Amino acid sequence: MPMPENCVILVVEDREDDEILIREAFERAGLKNPLFVVRDGEEAQAYLQGFGKYRDRDEFPLPALMLLDLKMPKVDGFEVLSWIRKQPALRALRVVVLTSSEDIYDVNKAYEMGAKFISGQAVRFS
């Protein structure tokens, strides 16, 4: 089932070149959803909590979907995912993990934490 065009997508990605690839993929797919990008897990938590510059929910609405990189500075994707799962207000947030890691431990840990997974090798939705 497609996501309505007004649903916000939060991209948590520290590499600008990966952000560009994500934007291009969305454009090619014809997705018109608003896309917000933060550069690390700490900033993702601030966005989701509405702290600091993210306080205005009209300007920075809660996302319906988050694309989450695992390997980031400050607070990594695993820490963000763990934190999200402890927030009752974020229970409905869908999280898709993005990673180039082929480490099976990373993949299994992300699945166990409730994430969907996209790697450089495969796309799996369960």
pLDDT tens digit sequence for 36-93? 999 999 999 999 999 999 999 999 999 999 999 988 888 999 899 999 989 999 988 9
For CA atoms 19, 29, 33, 94, the dihedral sign is negative
Weakest mean pLDDT among 16-25, 31-40, 107-116: 107-116
Dig out the tokens for 1 from the structure.
């089932």
Beta carbons of 85 and 105 less than 8 angstroms apart? no
Tokens 């796309």 belong to: 123
Rounded to whole angstroms, the Cα distance separating 60 from 82 reads: 22
List pLDDT tens digits, range 108-118: 777 777 666 45
Domains in the chain with CATH codes: 9-124 (3.40.50.2300)
